[in-house]
Amino acid sequence: MYCYCCSGKRFSNCCQPLLDGKVKAESGIELMRSRYSAYCHKAIDYLYATNYPDLRKANPKTQIAEFATAVHFIGLTITNITSSSDIDNYIAAHKSQVSFVASYINGNKLETLAEQSRFILTDQWYYSDGDIAATLPKTIGRNDKCPCGSGNKFKHCTLHMISGNSEHGPRHTLA
């Protein structure tokens, strides 16, 4: 199957080794993509473990699981990556910012969120925090075409509920 993160690569060659704990993300952007995949794959432990320790109290596993179970992500677009190359500044050199737009189906609503997320490298890359701008949820009509790009009517579509499990290529229309 193709990776959830819309890389166009196979899951086994992209985010799966990270979710399985076989390798660590080498950059903020890699961690960001893998966390998106983790939400799709419901890899709750991975999401929790890659939250910066400060954040773990504020975003417990139950809360992560609740969100990951409720929503079906259908697309990811990375809009900007800023990595500091300031080697004089130890702190700055270990931070990275990634802006992205992710859309997901939540019940019968299509929601899109734009986030400027921040990542920190200590013993590994962690998600630190982010500025989130969510658009107003858009109701999907039962007879509308499903926003997941399956071509099915929304009322009949189940494809987005098994994100990435299609062998027919990336369902995601967003790059």
Matching residue, tokens 């009322």: 155
What are the structure tokens assigned to 22, written together?
Answer: 């076989």
CB of 62 to Zn ion, least distance (A): 26
Shortest distance (Å) from residue 30 CB to Zn ion: 9
Q: Does 148 bind Zn ion (CB under 5 A)?
A: yes
Residue 43 interacts with Zn ion (CB under 5 A)?
A: no
Select the span of 20-28, 58-66, 96-104, 153-161 touching Zn ion (CB under 5 A): 153-161
Give 156's contacts (C-beta < 8 A, 6+ positions apart). none
Q: Quick one: tokens of 55?
A: 């954040």
Residue of the chain from 78, 95, 159, 163 that contacts Zn ion (CB under 5 A): 159
Closest by CA to 18, choosing from 1, 6, 8, 41, is 41
Q: Give yes or no for residue 102 binding Zn ion (CB under 5 A).
A: no
Provide Rg for the chain, Cα atoms.
16
Q: Which of 2, 14, 97, 100 binds Zn ion (CB under 5 A)?
A: 14
Among 40, 44, 140, 146, which residue interacts with Zn ion (rule: CB under 5 A)?
146
Amino acid at 93: A
